[in-house]
Amino acid sequence: MESYLVKDLSKAEKKRTRDGYGDGLVVAGKDDKNVVVLSADLTESTRAITFQQAFPERFVQCGVAEQNMMGIAAGLALSGKIPFVSSYAVFCPGRNWDQLRVSVCYNNANVKVAGAHAGISVGPDGATHQALEDIAITRALPRMTVIVPCDYAEAKKVTVAVAKLKGPVYFRFGRADYPVITTEKTPFAIGRAEVYKDGKDVAIVACGSMVYEALKAAEILEKEGVSAMVINNHTIKPIDSKTLISAAQKTGCIVTAEEHQIFGGLGSAVAEAVSEKIGVPIIRVGVKDVFGESGTPDELMDKYGLRAKDIVSAARKSISQKLTCGEMYYPEEVHARALKTEVTPEYFFKLQGGGTIRSIVQLKEELAHMDDKVFFHHVNDVKNDFSTWIKDVYGDKKLSQLLSKHKSKHVMRDILSAWLKK
């Protein structure tokens, strides 16, 4: 799968997902003459203008009247047209949710709702214009399909695909420039999650702009010896339970990442799907039950913890919880109190280049700032000296075996922290 993505994330071209929507509308309009587009005054901002210029006779300007626009769209759909309604996500589906629920979903009308400027990266527009609840309010509606494309290329594919799908659809996209990580060859199908990177230690499930951050996080984790699976879960509903459950079974823990409230969005949908079949730790990265504020997209992504480093932290925590809840149980042959004691000098662990470790507590503390060269001298593909020392000196075979499976300072430190609390 990685061959179907851009080769170098750091050099990925940046484009706006809303441009993918505008370009996709033109393709959909050429494919089917029944495609029509409605706008609530924000024609240029949502890029519905691209369709208006190509097919002016199939474009309807509704003005600042989002509720009326949704009603018109429902009527057009029930008469055989394929209407796309475009506005900011806080207005559509935010302001016209009642019309979406009753006029569209209740009647199973073939309306496509495009929510622009979604997420925190709207930036200077501030909290009133930052839609952070739109996934939650749309996925709760019966008959509704909900999709969050990850970049320009996928937004274009989504727009073309939903025009051919029968029934109500909501899809969202942002305002800011996002790295284009997919290509024309990248597989896409509504309702199917795509595994962009395989891994065995943790599964990172992301949507929208957070897919890029998830791939960056996986690169960081790889350097720490952690193998992270990355899944682009663009379709929130219907969710691909099969792929998610398979990932949970393989890795034993999950991190979700979304530019949305952690309640009701991707994280909630993944937890619902997975927990019915298998119990694994799930850590959610997203906006934590607060409203946004004005600022540049980069400033807000940093402030609200929506970066690769935040996903990395969540991955470490998820792995730690997996070990605590699953593999890690109370050691029968060695008590935690005994593990905290300092050994006699003849059993000190001598670090490469100088220095000694006198106890497991000290080892845990040293791992936080241990030089990489020293660490990888003792822990590599051939050996794990720390694991061997614990087994030989403390006699704890279970802890030793658990440590031997990992080559990350951070994960090993989390294991020791949890073990010492037993």
3-state secondary structure labels for all residues of 115-179: EECECHHHHHHCHHHCECCHHHHHHCCCCCEEECCCCHHHHHHHHHHHHCCCCCEEEECCCCEEE
The pTM of the full predicted model, rounded to 2 decimals, is 0.82
260: phi then psi, degrees, rounded to nearest 5 = -165, 165
Amino acid at residue number 202: V
Asked if the bond preceding 149 is cis, omega within 30° of 0, the reply is no
Say what the pLDDT of residue 404 is.
87
Q: Where are the domains of the chain?
A: 14-179, 194-327, 336-420
> What's the pLDDT score for residue 315?
94
The predicted pLDDT at position 144 comes to: 98
Q: Which stretches of the chain score pLDDT less than 50?
A: 327-337
The helix (H) or strand (E) run that includes residue 231 is: strand 228-232
Q: What does the pLDDT read at residue 3?
A: 56
Output the six-digit token pair for 113: 């709702």
d(CA 393, CA 338): 11
**Sign of torsion, CA 22 26 28 33?**
positive
Is beta strand 145-147 parallel, antiparallel or unpaired with respect to 177-179? unpaired
Residue with tokens 């071209």: 13
Class of domain 194-327: alpha beta
Domain 14-179 and domain 194-327, same fold? Reply is yes
The structure tokens 């994280």 sit at: 267
pLDDT value, residue 334: 42
Whether 85 contacts 73, CB under 8 Å: yes
Active site residues per annotation: 66
| DSSP state at residue 272 | H
pLDDT at site 325: 58
Task: Tell me the C-alpha distance between 99 and 82, whole Å.
Answer: 17
Reduced to 3 states, what is the DSSP secondary structure of residue 265? coil
pLDDT reported for residue 1? 54
Q: Classify domain 14-179 at the CATH topology level.
A: Rossmann fold (3.40.50)
For the stretch 282-317, what's the b/e string if a residue is b when 16 or more beta carbons lie within 10 angstroms of its beta carbon?
bbbbbbeeeebeebebeebbeebbbbbebbbbbbbb
Displacement of CA 126 from its chain's centroid (Å): 23
The pLDDT, as a whole number, for residue 338 is 63
